[in-house]
Amino acid sequence: MSTERRRVRSRSAVAAVALAAALVAVAPGVGLADTAPEETDATERVVAALEESPVLVDPSFAGALPEDLAQEWSDRIEESGVPLRVLAVPLIEGGDWNGDPGVMAAAVHDRIGGEGHYLVLDGGRLSGHDLTAAGGETPGNAFYGAATVSREMDYDAPAADQVERAVEVALSEDPEGIYSAAEDQRERGFFDWYYSLGWGWATLSMLLPWIVAALALGGLGTGVYYWRRPRRVPSLPQHAAFDNADRARRDDLSDRAARELVELGERLSGAVPLAGEDDALGALQEALDAHAAARRIHDALPAEPELVDVAGVLVLLDMAEDHLERATRPAARRRSAPLRSHCYANPLHGTDTKVTRWREFGGSRHVSVPLCGPCARAVRDRRRPMVLSARHDGREVPYFEVPAEESVWAATGFGALRGDLVARVLRGDHAGRER
Binding residues (CB under 5 A) for Zn ion: these are 343, 345, 349, 372, 375
Residues in the chain: 435
Q: State the nearest-atom distance from the C-beta of 311 to Zn ion, in Å.
A: 12
Rounded (5°) CA angle 220-224-229: 155
Cβ proximity to Zn ion: between 23 and 386 the closer is: 386
Cβ proximity to Zn ion: between 176 and 360 the closer is: 360
Q: State the nearest-atom distance from the C-beta of 345 to Zn ion, in Å.
A: 4
Amino acid at position 108, single letter: V
Q: State the nearest-atom distance from the C-beta of 142 to Zn ion, in Å.
A: 21
Q: State the nearest-atom distance from the C-beta of 103 to Zn ion, in Å.
A: 15
Cβ proximity to Zn ion: between 141 and 346 the closer is: 346
Q: Pairing state of beta strands 366-372 and 353-359?
A: antiparallel
Classify 370 as helix, strand or coil. Answer: strand
* Spatial distance between the Cα atoms of 376 and 396, rounded to a whole number of angstroms: 23
Is the four-CA dihedral 201, 184, 164, 21 of positive or negative sign?
A: negative
* Spatial distance between the Cα atoms of 111 and 384, rounded to a whole number of angstroms: 32
Cβ proximity to Zn ion: between 157 and 343 the closer is: 343
Question: Does residue 167 contact residue 77 with C-beta atoms inside 8 Å?
Answer: yes
Cβ proximity to Zn ion: between 262 and 355 the closer is: 355
Distances (CA, A) of 14 to 62, 74, 85, 87, 386: 15, 14, 17, 15, 32
Cβ proximity to Zn ion: between 386 and 402 the closer is: 386
Q: State the nearest-atom distance from the C-beta of 385 to Zn ion, in Å.
A: 6
CB environment 85-96: b (16+ within 10 A), e (fewer): bbbbbbbbbeeb
Q: State the nearest-atom distance from the C-beta of 368 to Zn ion, in Å.
A: 15
Amino acid at position 104, single letter: M
Classify 371 as helix, strand or coil. Answer: strand
Indicate the DSSP class of residue 93: T
Alpha helices, DSSP H, located in 113-218: 141-152, 159-170, 175-218
Q: State the nearest-atom distance from the C-beta of 334 to Zn ion, in Å.
A: 28
Strand partners, 85: 118
Question: Does residue 422 contact residue 319 with C-beta atoms inside 8 Å?
Answer: yes
Cβ proximity to Zn ion: between 158 and 350 the closer is: 350
* Spatial distance between the Cα atoms of 252 and 310, rounded to a whole number of angstroms: 10
Cβ proximity to Zn ion: between 120 and 375 the closer is: 375
Q: State the nearest-atom distance from the C-beta of 196 to Zn ion, in Å.
A: 32
